[in-house]
Amino acid sequence: MGATTGQRNFYERYAPVRRVVEVGFWVVLMALQAAFNTAVALVDARAAAHPPAPWQVVSWELSSHLVLLALVPVLAAFERRFPLYRPLGWWRTLGAHVAGSLVFCALHVGGMVLLRKAVAWAAGGAYDFGGGGSWLYEYLKDVRSYASIVAGIAIYRLWLLRLQGEARVLDAPEAPGDAARAPPEPVPPEASAPPARPERFLVRKLRREFLIAAADIDWLQAQGNYVGLHVNGHDYLLRATLTDFLAQLDPARFVRVHRSHAVNLDRIREIEPTDGGDARLHLHDGSVVPCSRRYREALTAAAA
């Protein structure tokens, strides 16, 4: 049941510095791109009939890359909501990313134009972005930037899943003779018993197996094509939808409180109402889970 030592140790060493590495990677990447593009733009400007001042060229490139850097977390959240590797409904994901590229371009261009105008105003000059042709030109560039950033985020996310080891609910072994056994006689609907719900789940993570009691699950969160189980401070990522996994749990104990969240009622310590009818659920482990107005009534009824 043990994981390969090198793989397990590397991931455990990487996890505490993961956020620093991620932020540092994008900062360094954008800085290198800005420096290279600025050098090329300065060379091109010298050959122009009416060359702009060097400070203008520098401000144009820096403003573009600063806004791109600020948009990386937005794209990461968007890709998490609409993952590129989604096996079903890929046309919806593709449509979402086409629309996302348009919004990305609008935010990028709008942000860099504001920065350029501010720099020009501080220098006693003015900056003119141009007309509709400039927007088309910027979009053709931005759609390539959008695709490369989102693809990079998706590849990195898949690498993390492979490194960590995707947790899966393991199927129960088939009993001897099951394949040859005749199918059972049909049971009338009125005589059928309620479906049995598993009390424990055997999951595999980092090539190790863990036995998780259903009652020990504190809360659940939908994450694209996965559902994250939060159990005693540990996270287990399963390839399933939140709706499908909740069907395996006791509805008297587990309640959906948000489009992307469900909680174990026994783990709720405090319900904090917010403006607009929503609420924040404070759990005994210190976690805070959102509760949307749409699910408040179901939560109240289940807790009664």
**Is residue 174's pLDDT more than 50?**
no
Secondary structure (DSSP) of the chain: -PPPHHHHHHHHHHGGGHHHHHHHHHHHHHHHHHHHHHHHHHHHHHTSSSPPPHHHHHHHHHHHHHHHHHHHHHHHHHHHHS-TT-SS-HHHHHHHHHHHHHHHHHHHHHHHHHHHHHHHHHTT------SHHHHHHHHHHHHHHHHHHHHHHHHHHHHHHHHH--B-BPPPPPPTTTTTSPPPPPPPGGGPPPPP--SEEEEEETTEEEEEEGGGEEEEEEETTEEEEEETTEEEEEES-HHHHHTTS-TTTEEEEETTEEEEGGGEEEEEE-GGG-EEEEETTS-EEEE-HHHHHHHHHHH-
Amino acid (one-letter) located at 249: L
Across all residues in the chain, what is the average pLDDT? 81
Residue 222 predicted with pLDDT over 60: yes
Q: What is the pLDDT of residue 160?
A: 78
For range 234-250, the mean pLDDT: 85
The upper half-sphere exposure of residue 73, i.e. CA atoms within 13 Å in the direction of its Cβ, equals 6
Ranking 20-24, 127-131, 264-268 by mean pLDDT, the lowest is: 127-131
pLDDT at 238 over 90: no
Of 89-103, 118-132, 176-190, which range is least confident? 176-190
Q: What pLDDT score was predicted for residue 8? A: 46
What pLDDT is stored for residue 163 in this prediction? 66
Highest mean pLDDT among 1-15, 26-40, 245-259: 26-40
Share of the chain above pLDDT 90, in %: 36
Answer yes or no: is pLDDT of 224 > 80.
Answer: no
Over residues 243-258, mean pLDDT: 90
Domains observed in the chain: 5-164 (no CATH), 195-303 (2.40.50.1020)
Nearest to 214 by CA among 203, 201, 205: 201
Cβ proximity of 261 and 222 under 8 Å: yes
Both tokens of 177, joined, read 């003779």
Phi, psi of 260 (to 5 degrees): -115, 5
Tokens of 268: 């709720």
Give residue-wise pLDDT tens across range 141-165: 999 999 999 999 989 987 877 666 5
**What is the pLDDT at residue 119?**
92
Q: For residue 24, give every residue at least 6 positions away whose Cβ sits within 8 Å of its Cβ, in sequence order, or none.
A: none
CA 232 from chain centre, in angstroms, equals 22
Q: Distance between CA 208 and CA 281 in Å, rounded?
A: 32
Averaged pLDDT for residues 193-202: 69
Confidence check: pLDDT of 302 > 50: yes
- Residue 179 is predicted with a pLDDT of 43
- Mean of pLDDT values over 207-224: 84
Residue 6 reports pLDDT greater than 50? no
CA-to-CA separations, 112 to 63, 214, 217, in angstroms, rounded: 5, 50, 46
C-alpha to C-alpha distance for 220 and 218, rounded to whole angstroms = 7
CA angle 2, 246, 75 (to 5 degrees): 75
Answer yes or no: is pLDDT of 14 > 90: no
Longest dimension (CA), the chain: 89
The yes-or-no verdict on residue 193 having pLDDT over 80 is: no
CA distance 246 to 240: 10
Least confident residue range of 26-35, 79-88, 257-266: 79-88
Answer yes or no: is pLDDT of 176 > 70: no
pLDDT band at 65 (very low <50, low <70, confident <90, very high): very high
What pLDDT, on the 0 to 100 scale, is given for residue 184? 54
Please check whether residue 57 is in contact with residue 75, taking contact to mean a CB–CB distance below 8 angstroms.
Answer: no
